[in-house]
Amino acid sequence: MNEWEDFINRCNNCEKCGLSVYRKNVVIGRGTPKPCPLMFIGEGPGEQEDIQGEAFVGRAGKLLDLLLTALEFDPSDYYIANIVKCRPPENRIPTQDEVSACLPWLRFQVKYIKPSILVCLGATAAKAIIDRDLKITQVRGTCIEKGGYVMIPTYHPAAVLRDNSKRLDFFRDMKLVKEKLSEIKQR
């Protein structure tokens, strides 16, 4: 068994927090598990993700995919993961304890995938990864250099679906991600 297979195995048997009780599937991520320059990080699986065992396959994921296709992102350039790997009941925000229990799995993924850019989709991801006290409306669309990564926080696509007025900013932020990606790939 290689390192990645062993990681999947351990995730599938994880009982580090109470979310394990409710899950149908542990949602590891989406994309090819190999080094690539960009990683999107969401909050946690929703209903469809829990059923299908893959990240961002529900309505929010469809919006994300639409934008990634429109902006001509190459799927081999990115990997998509979440802060927590099991669906919180009623899609509630994961608690700090659940986030802390799950973060080591994400850290392994980041080490394995070796992205240069981390895009935090929504406040939960941005708070867990960048700064617990940040306000997503204040930091979205900026590039924050931390720990050797370029971190770009933006809205969660589900928030964009709920509030149309966020669409243009979300689009602009994704364009910024594409620009940073092109810069990094040219180096």
Q: How far is the CB of 64 from ligand URA (least distance, A)?
A: 9
Chain residues 116-175 in contact with ligand URA, contact rule CB under 6 A: 158
Per-residue b or e along 116-145, where b marks 16 or more CB atoms closer than 10 Å to that residue's CB: bbbbbbbbbbbbbbbeeebebeebbbeebe
Beta pairing, strands 38-42 & 117-121 = parallel
Classify the phi-psi angles of 17: left when phi > 0, otherwise alpha if psi is within -120 to 50, otherwise beta: beta
In DSSP terms, 121 is beta-bridged to: 154
* Contact string 87-116 vs ligand URA (x = CB under 6 A): ------------------------------
Chain residues 53-82 in contact with ligand URA, contact rule CB under 6 A: 55-56, 58, 60-61, 82
Choosing from 31, 42, 88, 153, the residue that interacts with ligand URA (CB under 6 A) is: 42
Size of the site for ligand URA (CB under 6 A): 13
In DSSP terms, 80 is beta-bridged to: 30, 40
Tell whether residue 44 is a contact of ligand URA (CB under 6 A). yes
Binding site for ligand URA (CB under 6 A): 42-46, 49, 55-56, 58, 60-61, 82, 158
